[in-house]
């Protein structure tokens, strides 16, 4: 144990604290919150678009059913019409009944066509709603992509800084004995990242609380010859 090792350990801690700050910055990039927000909005829009799409599909299916039904009635009408004027039916009562049938069929077809038109109008409104919802979702998806790119670029930049700090930190740490390094790391883990601090007068520079002056004097006399630590925060004290 030498005073030099403790000085080196202070430098190691400077690097460690810088790495902590970089990691924190990486984890709390403001774009992350914006991205979360946009992803939520995008999911909501996509849900809405899916609902409109499902309603539109139902309307389209109904439209086709009504169209088929109208076509069937049309065929029936043509058939009765053809028989009516074919001259094969001569009974006035039968002819009258067929005439009444025709009128009923035409009324039914007309009603069907009205319903079909109404259905088509609703389906066209759904088409417009769907297009609008998809356009908004498209814009949001573009914004999500942009934010993801910004975050990826920021992460890459910070990762580069962390790697450089880590390399410098490791080179420094290699000059400190393992037991002292482990002791520092354990204290650092327990004390919010601060495992070692300078003792200035009777004040620990980690927690800024004072230790008894006799204790401070003892630490100064030992001159780093043995590990002394702050009673308040547990940081190794460097005289």
- Judge contact between 38 and 160, C-beta under 8 A: no
Q: Tell whether residue 203 is a contact of Zn ion (CB under 5 A).
A: no
Q: Tell whether residue 233 is a contact of Zn ion (CB under 5 A).
A: yes
**Given the complex with Zn ion, which of 86 and 214 has the nearer CB atom?**
214
Minimal distance in Å, beta carbon 38 to Zn ion? Answer: 44
- Beta strand 203-204 with 236-238: parallel, antiparallel or unpaired? unpaired
Stretch of residues binding Zn ion (CB under 5 A), selected from 53-61, 71-79, 176-184, 223-231: 223-231
**Given the complex with Zn ion, which of 119 and 235 has the nearer CB atom?**
235
**Given the complex with Zn ion, which of 70 and 197 has the nearer CB atom?**
197
Q: Tell whether residue 198 is a contact of Zn ion (CB under 5 A).
A: no
Element (H, E) at 160: helix 92-173
Minimal distance in Å, beta carbon 184 to Zn ion? Answer: 14
Strand arrangement, sheet containing 196-200: 203-204, 196-200, 236-238
List the one residue from 105, 137, 204, 228 that touches Zn ion (CB under 5 A): 204
List the one residue from 5, 98, 207, 222 that touches Zn ion (CB under 5 A): 207
- Judge contact between 143 and 38, C-beta under 8 A: yes
Element (H, E) at 236: strand 236-238
Q: How far is 191 from 151, CA to CA, in rounded Å?
A: 31
Q: Give the Cβ contact number of residue 167 at 10 Å.
A: 11
Q: How far is 8 from 220, CA to CA, in rounded Å?
A: 18
The residue count for binding Zn ion (CB under 5 A) is 7
List the one residue from 6, 59, 206, 227 that touches Zn ion (CB under 5 A): 206
Q: Which residues bind Zn ion (CB under 5 A)?
A: 204, 206-207, 230, 232-233, 235
């Amino acid at each position: 144990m030498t005073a030099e090792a403790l000085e080196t350990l202070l430098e190691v801690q400077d690097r460690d604290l810088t790495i902590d700050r970089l990691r924190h910055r990486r984890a709390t990039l403001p774009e992350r919150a914006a991205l979360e927000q946009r992803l939520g909005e995008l999911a909501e829009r996509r849900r809405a678009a899916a609902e409109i799409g499902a309603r539109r599909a139902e309307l389209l299916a109904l439209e086709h059913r009504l169209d088929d039904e109208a076509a069937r009635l049309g065929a029936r009408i043509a058939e009765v019409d053809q028989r009516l004027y074919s001259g094969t039916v001569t009974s006035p009562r039968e002819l009258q009944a067929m005439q009444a049938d025709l009128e009923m069929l035409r009324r039914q077809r007309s009603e069907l066509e009205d319903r079909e038109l109404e259905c088509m109008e609703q389906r066209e409104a759904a088409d417009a709603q769907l297009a609008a919802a998809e356009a908004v979702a498209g814009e949001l998806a573009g914004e999500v992509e942009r934010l993801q790119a910004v975050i990826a670029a920021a992460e890459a930049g910070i990762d580069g800084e962390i790697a450089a700090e880590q390399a410098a930190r490791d080179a420094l740490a290699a000059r400190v004995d393992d037991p002292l390094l482990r002791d520092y790391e354990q204290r650092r883990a327990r004390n919010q990242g601060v495992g070692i601090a300078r003792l200035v007068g009777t004040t620990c520079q980690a927690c800024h609380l004072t230790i008894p002056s006799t204790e401070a004097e003892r630490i100064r006399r030992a001159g780093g010859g043995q590990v002394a630590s702050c009673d308040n925060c547990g940081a190794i004290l460097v005289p």
